[in-house]
Amino acid sequence: MPPTLKGQITMEKTPSYWVTKSAPKRVYAMNPAVKLIAVVRDPVTRAISDYTQSASKRPGLPPFEEFALLNSSIQWGGTYSIDASWPPVRLGIYARPYRRWLRRFPKSRLLLVNGERLVADPAAEMDFLGLKRIITDKHFYFNSTKGFPCLLKSETKPIPHCLGKTKGRNHPRINQSVIYRLKEFYKPHNEKFYQLSGVKFSWP
């Protein structure tokens, strides 16, 4: 962590902390009063997003369906199982890492941000850190080319800032029966996560 003056808040963002087994213990040892934020979205969309990121770096990568299904030689429309060990699928089982974090930190200090709501209404997600509300909904505008909200750095000097090209990519079309199977796969895991967190996300 960089040095922080009194009155300043230091922030650090690393998605892999969420699933790194040793992270809760180490973060706790660093500062047990730390506030934690995890953005979670529909795990089916998360898996496709994760695959899209890899595909952008590796042209010619086989289609999503071939990784998501076990024994993908079977026709996609037939009977098949989901490959729960494929990281884009596995990382959407949120209850597992969430349980690990809860062994060290109280629920009140781990904010679960609804990824779908973060896109629909970003300003609504800003209160957890207890900071003065400087960023409000006036600082966001919907950029229709990007299809996502972007930030106006100040109300008076509205310089627009969108996230880079690697955020908000177009996802490939995925076979509908594979999507259906993935939803079925995640249903019990999502339920477990809703039970543990007390938050009913709207994923099917």
Contact residues for ligand PPS (CB under 6 A)? 15, 49, 52, 118-119, 148-149, 163, 167-169
Sheet holding 148-152, edge to edge: 140-143, 148-152, 160-161
Q: Is the dihedral of CA 117, 119, 122, 126 positive or negative?
A: positive
* Residue 80 or 89 with smaller CB distance to ligand PPS: 89
17 — alpha (psi -120 to 50), left (phi > 0) or beta? Answer: alpha
Nearer to ligand PPS, 36 or 118 (CB): 118
Q: Is 170 annotated as a binding residue?
A: yes
Cβ pair 126, 109 in contact under 8 A: no
Closest C-alpha among 71, 74, 92, 97 to residue 82: 71
From the CB of 146, what's the least distance to ligand PPS, in Å? 6
Q: φ and ψ at 196, to 5 degrees?
A: -65, -40
58 is in an annotated binding site: no
Least distance in Å: CB of 187 to ligand PPS? 22
Name the residue nearer to ligand PPS (CB basis): 54 or 71.
54
167 is in an annotated binding site: yes
Considering the complex, state which of residue 20 and residue 49 has its C-beta at the smaller distance from ligand PPS.
49
Q: Which amino acid is at 115?
A: G
The number of angstroms, rounded, from the C-alpha of 2 to the middle of its chain's C-alpha atoms is 25
Is 100 annotated in a binding site? The answer is no
Minimum distance, C-beta of residue 172 to ligand PPS, in the bound complex (Å): 11
Residue whose pair of structure tokens reads 């089916």 in the numeric block: 44
Q: Which is nearer to ligand PPS, 77 or 204 (CB)?
A: 204
Comparing every residue's Cβ against ligand PPS, the nearest one is: 49
Task: Find out whether 103 is annotated in a ligand binding site.
Answer: no
Show binding-site residues: 41, 49, 167-171
Binding residues for 3'-phosphoadenylyl sulfate are 41, 49, 167-171
